[in-house]
Amino acid sequence: MKKEKLNFLIPKKEDNLGQWLIEQGISAGFPSPADDFKEIRISLDKELVKNEEATFYARVSGDSMQGAGLENGDLLIIDRSIEPLNNKIAVCFVDGEFTVKRIKIESKKLYLIPENKKYSPIEINEENELIIWGIVTYVIKKL
């Protein structure tokens, strides 16, 4: 067998003519003094909706809760996960319609109290079919 000679290829030495590339660039200005103090901008969504999965919205129609600041056309934020306790304002389904009223529990009786003298309280007894649908947590109104 014929022996082959190995040729070694050696890189040629050259002067280093190149320059380092600084990809990010070097900015000459003064860095923003606020950079270390960045915060997330206020989000009403986060503030008003504590439980995304249980939050629904409703529109007020009528003036039965005027005294509590709920007026015709206002937007209600409703959280279904909150327990319906005495004095809470709740969206209820009673006698075939949705209504918003204050819950009152007095001597083992349940009342839905409007906050407008034009309307009278609703006493809940066995004949009414009542669903306490959710608790109102915020009212949004347009001025």
Which are the catalytic amino acids?
Answer: 64, 101
To other proteins, the closest distance from the beta carbon of 61 in angstroms equals 4
SS3 127: coil
Nearer to other proteins, 31 or 140 (CB): 140
- Segment lying near other proteins (by CB under 8 A), choices 5-13, 28-36, 38-46, 57-65: 57-65
To other proteins, the closest distance from the beta carbon of 34 in angstroms equals 31
Tokens of 115: 């906050």
SS3 78: strand
d(CA 40, CA 23): 29
To other proteins, the closest distance from the beta carbon of 143 in angstroms equals 18
Name the region of 39 (left: φ>0; alpha: ψ -120 to 50; beta: rest).
beta
Q: Which of 91, 113, 122, 124 binds other proteins (CB under 8 A)?
A: 91
Number of residues counted as binding other proteins (CB under 8 A)? 25
Nearer to other proteins, 75 or 105 (CB): 75
Bridge partners of residue 131, in order along the sequence: 93
Judging by beta carbons within 10 Å of its beta carbon (0-12, 13-18, 19+), is residue 49 exposed, middle or buried? middle
Which residues form the interface with other proteins (CB under 8 A)? 51-54, 56-62, 64, 75-76, 80-81, 91, 93, 96-100, 131, 133
